[in-house]
Structure 1
């Protein structure tokens, strides 16, 4: 039996992407802005996701033209120290960190009409799609606390609807089988919920590790295992 199909999947390029957990807090707790993906999409079809998408060449231009403060890029690079942002060394890490930051800002604007400020985006997590998927992404997750008057809209054709939702309600719907969420979405949201408040989320300085998940757990909230964490760079 030929294994050419598996070999083809093993050579799928890994594309960088950015995704943003836009959060707000009221008297009843945290809410997160999510999108319900169209069921015919070629990636994450029918899933509940955060706004985001692939890094484009234009995102590199945003960095090289000085759109971001150098100190901010250096700080982001340090937060991404255990990810592929450092694959070409420390000198290029701020540039690569700026590119995913630019992608996050651009995608949020394109999909919701909201222009976030760069300082609102806080590095949160990094997940890499495992071998065996027809599309693979090295996704950089950010959290962003929305200020009064910052109101994202539903304006993407990739989703059937967008909404503010309580995380507890999303997980209840997941348990009832009413919606679907991929494991990175579940884990990044559960980790935010565990901190309890928006202030605690923004202040969190936990080490961000690049997660290479077991594909058999791709639609579960299982905790990240040591075997799924990339080896730290020297």
Structure 2
């Protein structure tokens, strides 16, 4: 989410679908997460710590239409996104839209880190929608991907000054010291992973994903904001 709301919340801003991926690897204690430090000149999330990701585009839809992604996997992921806008056009199109999210996540990770993930490595994790009143709004689908020992992402995006692995505890300590800035979804998605404590627990956890529609002003403060409205789109 952007951190500068526009003055007139009545202005209609289109909501674009996007994907973001928490790349994780096992560590001596718990796990590490791969992060990017966005450059200060970006028009979105300038200077923020983020995960690899970006907007869904036409080539993602084209990949799904080509049949390159396993239909059973897309159907399974569609069920994980059952409360989201993936289902806005009904069950028949849900697998297709789930495929777009998966394709976008995989493409963005490859473009920004040089790492091509196996589709099965991408686990649906969370869905956040930018509040009304911001100049850019995204319906963002977060995935978790646990990497193998032979998989090593690298820094290769011009949108970030540096990319690096870090223990989540060290990341939040830097946030407390105000050395970095993190948006609310970045914080919360990682905190939820930390609560499970281990890679094994993350892999086996059956998570129900309820889209988060935050209210009130956005934050980049050291304290994660928990006063969000959690509600499924379909009762």
Q: Which residue of 1 aligns with 2:163?
A: 162
Q: Which residue of 1 aligns with 2:19?
A: 18
Once the two structures are superposed, residues 17-41 of structure 1 have per-residue CA deviations (whole angstroms, 9 ceiling, x without a partner) of 0000000012132100000000111
Distance in 1 (CA, whole Å) between partners of 2:216 and 2:45 is 14
Q: Which residue of 2 aligns with 1:62?
A: 63
Q: Which residue of 1 aligns with 2:208?
A: 207
Q: Secondary structure at the match of 2:192?
A: helix
CA RMSD, Structure 1 to Structure 2 (Å): 1.5
Q: Which residue of 2 aligns with 1:181?
A: 182
In the alignment, structure 1 segments of 5+ residues that lack a partner are none
Q: Which residue of 2 aligns with 1:111?
A: 112
Distance in 1 (CA, whole Å) between partners of 2:192 and 2:102 is 21
Asked whether 1:223 is paired with 2:235, we answer: no
In the alignment, structure 2 segments of 5+ residues that lack a partner are 1-5
Q: Which residue of 2 aligns with 1:193?
A: 194
Query: Is 2:183–2:218's contact at 8 Å kept on the other side of the alignment?
Result: no
Shift of 1:222: 2.5
Divergent runs of 4+, >6 A: none
Shift of 1:229: 2.1
Once the two structures are superposed, residues 110-161 of structure 1 have per-residue CA deviations (whole angstroms, 9 ceiling, x without a partner) of 0000011100000000000111111110000000000011000000000000
- Describe how 1:123-162 pairs up with structure 2 within 5 A: 123-162=124-163
Q: Which residue of 2 aligns with 1:86?
A: 87
Asked whether 1:39 is paired with 2:40, we answer: yes
Normalised TM-score (structure 1): 0.94
Distance in 1 (CA, whole Å) between partners of 2:126 and 2:155 is 25
Q: Which residue of 1 aligns with 2:3?
A: none
Normalised TM-score (structure 2): 0.93
Distance in 1 (CA, whole Å) between partners of 2:169 and 2:75 is 35
Shift of 1:74: 0.4
